[in-house]
Amino acid sequence: MRPLFRSLLRLPPWLWVLGVFTALVPLAALARGGGGEHYTRGTDDSGGDGDAGGLIYLLFRLIGFAFRYPKIGVPLLILAGVAYYFYRRNLHPTGSTQRALERKEAAQRTQVSDQSVQGWVQALKRKDPQFEVQGVLAKVRHLFPLLQEAWFKRELTPVRPFLSDATYQRFNVQLQLMAAQGVRDAICDIRLLDARIIGLEQSEWFDSLQIRIQAEMRDTDVPATASDAQALAAAQRAPSESFTEVWTFVRKPGAATRIGQDVYQGKCPQCGAPYQGGASNVCEYCQAIVNSGNYDWTLSEITQGIEHNRQSTIVKGLREARAADPALNLEILEDRASLLFWKWIDAQSRGDEKRMAQVANADIVSQLGTELDSLRQQGRRRAILECAVGAVVTRDLEVQPEGDDRAHVEIRWSARLGTVAANERRQELPPVPQRWVFTMTRRHGVTTNTANGMATDRCPQCNAPLTSSGASACAYCGTQLGTSARDWVLATTLPYETWEAQTRHRRSSGATAPAASGPPEATDTVVDAQERERLLYMMAAIAASDGAVDAQERKLLKVCATRWSIPWQNVEMALNAGQPLFNRLMPGKGSPEASVFMDHLVRMALVDGRVDLKERRMLVSTAMHLGVLPQLESMLRK
């Protein structure tokens, strides 16, 4: 036998590794639950009951072999350990694995054919013969590094003329949030890899051009007190990461390309006079609002690649709303909603509800004030870190001839949320994906001011820029703001499940008639990586809400984390954070919100057409926590 072993020792290392993997593969196959399409990648504590036993049996066999034949057994045991390490590493995705999966999904969502691009270009040329693809992409290549530099230097004035009001508010608030937490963003080695047109939406009021940005950079956080040189040095030590974004530029259909005469050349896009900039974004010669989209392409939205949706959304009630306001368009409406979102975030992070007084009604300002006062009495404040918007989508419009029309706009966003002691600067908080619906109201009969275009942060009476002074009246003309009398104002902010439950109740009770057009409610759930992550975090918080998570619940959560490619450490943060992290997101036991959440979870499990035994156990466990177990079977049969 010894000559045989000496021969085995002479075998190349790769053959030993292959042998170890060959021994492991049959055990991995034991983790298949309910068929091949539900392969769980062979986890030890989230797979079938026999997986751990098989691995333990193999381990003991290897240890015994190592004692009997140490010259062969010990190297084999080491190789088995290395193989198992990489095997386990692939089971539960790390942060880098998750980012790789997101990049792949973003690439799939933003892929279009050359034929489609040619069709969009020709559609624009028919109305604007001077339009050229390379011309608009040149503007993108100019704006991209300019925006990154402004972000790094924390000074947005140079890019103000190129951004819609909501986009500017987004960047401004994000910088303020970071400053409040005592950090700044350090970036370097910025490279724009590719810019490509991937979509065009045309309406009577705006052409919306979607451009995919593929880029890479080094990015890290440093103390807010760090100098530019210190921030650059820190960024250079960070790994380079690639990302995909979709930039949406809007322009009125009647606007024409004027080569050499736009804000990129320092000129007013309307009259061609020199434009020096300024907070009002108004040309001093012709009074044109340069970032309105009326004269040239204005950056109105930045969507993450994994959130991009090529399909146009059919909005319930839009036809009826346009009958009362023919100029109503989703571009301006959603820009206004995005603006209100960032003012809402700004007010919470600063602990000052009055910063919303010019754009929100008195009830929601008062409600937010009560919440912030309660925190102040506890010596705490809200902490909001790394806040980012993924998508803004109008869900529903309600026309009320005898009162206020209502616009319901879904905002998908994420942030590290929590409360900290008043003197704390920073705290490690888990990232939480969010789906909220912002409801805006406007007096029936008020019409959209198309003259301002995408300049949505202005007084509807005198057209002056709004302020955040805390006063509810315009600082220039004294007009009372924060009411629905002249423009859309924020009325409510609700987690998506709460809003949908209320909407279903109103329709079933006849309070509002179902819209004649639009997709059925079954399509309201968005099935993608971010939505899976959000639902799983809420499941974890629900499981932990009674103060204890047993071994079986933890195992089921791990099954979902593995199948949905979500890092387990993030789920553990949600488990440890419990209800305080999700306060308003937690559906009450047996509530309509609980039923809606469970319905969404069932649809997620059914996305591949079937529910296996492990998934059913997970659904039963969650339904029991939510008090909706009797409804589960009917949901599964839909």
Give the closest residue to 134 by CA, choosing from 207, 76, 211.
Answer: 211
| Residue 311 pLDDT level (bands cut at 50, 70, 90) | low
Specify the pLDDT at position 24: 36
In the chain, % helix, strand, coil (3-state, to 5) comes to 50, 20, 30
| Residue 428 pLDDT level (bands cut at 50, 70, 90) | low
pLDDT at residue 557 tops 60: yes
Name every residue whose Cβ is closer than 8 Å to that of residue 368 and which is 6 or more positions away in sequence: 344, 347, 348, 353, 356
Give the closest residue to 175 by CA, choosing from 192, 159, 161.
Answer: 159
Is residue 310 within 8 A of residue 317, CB to CB? The reply is: no
| Residue 8 pLDDT level (bands cut at 50, 70, 90) | very low
- State the Cα–Cα distance between residues 20 and 476, nearest whole angstrom: 77
Range with lowest mean pLDDT among 98-102, 467-471, 563-567: 98-102
Bridge partners of 321? none
Specify the pLDDT at position 12: 47
Name every residue whose Cβ is closer than 8 Å to that of residue 535 and which is 6 or more positions away in sequence: 597, 600, 601, 604
pLDDT at residue 487 tops 50: yes
Helix or strand run (H / E) with residue 33: none
Say what percent of the chain tops pLDDT 70: 76
Report which residue type is found at 119: G
Mind spelling out the 3-state secondary structure of 451-465? Answer: HHCCCCCECCCCCCE
What is the overall mean pLDDT for the chain?
A: 79
Say what percent of the chain tops pLDDT 90: 32
pLDDT at residue 518 tops 60: no
Give the closest residue to 179 by CA, choosing from 415, 373, 349, 356.
Answer: 349
DSSP state of 48: -
Cα separation values, 594 from 317, 489, 542, 625, Å? 26, 29, 10, 10
Give the side-chain half-sphere CA count within 13 A for 149.
9
Average pLDDT over residues 232-249: 92
Residue 198 CA, distance from chain mean position:
20
Specify the pLDDT at position 13: 44
Average pLDDT over residues 222-249: 93
If one compares 636 and 344, the residue with the highest pLDDT of the two is: 344
Range with lowest mean pLDDT among 35-39, 228-232, 456-460, 594-598: 35-39
Domains of the chain by start residue, with CATH: 7-91 (no CATH), 96-309 (3.10.450.240), 313-516 (3.10.450), 525-636 (no CATH)
Specify the pLDDT at position 313: 67
Token look-up 């007009």 returns 479
Rg of the chain's alpha carbons, rounded to an integer?
28
If one compares 420 and 579, the residue with the highest pLDDT of the two is: 420
- State the Cα–Cα distance between residues 21 and 65, nearest whole angstrom: 17
Residue pLDDT, tens place only, 13-23: 444 443 443 33
Range with lowest mean pLDDT among 271-280, 323-332, 556-565: 556-565
- Which two structure tokens, joined as six digits, stand for 160? 């103000």
Residue pLDDT, tens place only, 443-464: 999 999 888 888 888 888 888 8
- State the Cα–Cα distance between residues 353 and 496, nearest whole angstrom: 23
β-pair type (380-398, 489-495): unpaired
| Residue 45 pLDDT level (bands cut at 50, 70, 90) | very low
The answer to pTM > 0.75 is no
- State the Cα–Cα distance between residues 202 and 250, nearest whole angstrom: 10
pLDDT at residue 240 tops 80: yes
| Residue 385 pLDDT level (bands cut at 50, 70, 90) | confident
Q: What beta strand segments (E) does 87-239 contain? A: 183-202, 207-223
Give the side-chain half-sphere CA count within 13 A for 332.
27
Classify 126 as helix, strand or coil. helix
Give the closest residue to 560 by CA, choosing from 574, 547, 545.
Answer: 574
Using CB atoms within 10 A of its CB, is residue 596 exposed (0-12), middle (13-18) or buried (19+)? buried
Residue pLDDT, tens place only, 61-118: 666 666 666 767 667 667 766 665 554 554 444 555 556 666 777 777 788 889 999 9
Instruction: Kindly tell me the number of DSSP H helices and DSSP E strands found in the chain.
Output: 20, 8
Give the closest residue to 495 by CA, choosing from 551, 563, 412, 599.
Answer: 412
pLDDT at residue 498 tops 60: yes
| Residue 326 pLDDT level (bands cut at 50, 70, 90) | very high
Average pLDDT over residues 567-577: 74
If one compares 280 and 319, the residue with the highest pLDDT of the two is: 319
pLDDT at residue 1 tops 60: no
Average pLDDT over residues 217-238: 93
Specify the pLDDT at position 238: 92
Average pLDDT over residues 269-274: 90
Range with lowest mean pLDDT among 57-61, 214-218, 227-231, 413-417: 57-61
Angle at 135 between CA 129 and CA 138, to 5 degrees: 170
| Residue 148 pLDDT level (bands cut at 50, 70, 90) | very high
Residue pLDDT, tens place only, 346-367: 999 888 999 999 999 999 999 9
Average pLDDT over residues 589-613: 79
In the sheet with 183-202, reading across from the earlier edge strand, the strands are 183-202, 207-223, 240-251, 298-304
Specify the pLDDT at position 602: 83
Is residue 90 within 8 A of residue 41, CB to CB? The reply is: yes
Bridge partners of 245? 213, 304
pLDDT at residue 534 tops 50: yes
Residue pLDDT, tens place only, 106-133: 777 788 889 999 999 999 999 999 999 9
Cα separation values, 360 from 70, 78, 349, Å? 75, 64, 17
Q: What beta strand segments (E) does 126-229 contain? A: 183-202, 207-223
Is residue 225 within 8 A of residue 261, CB to CB? The reply is: no
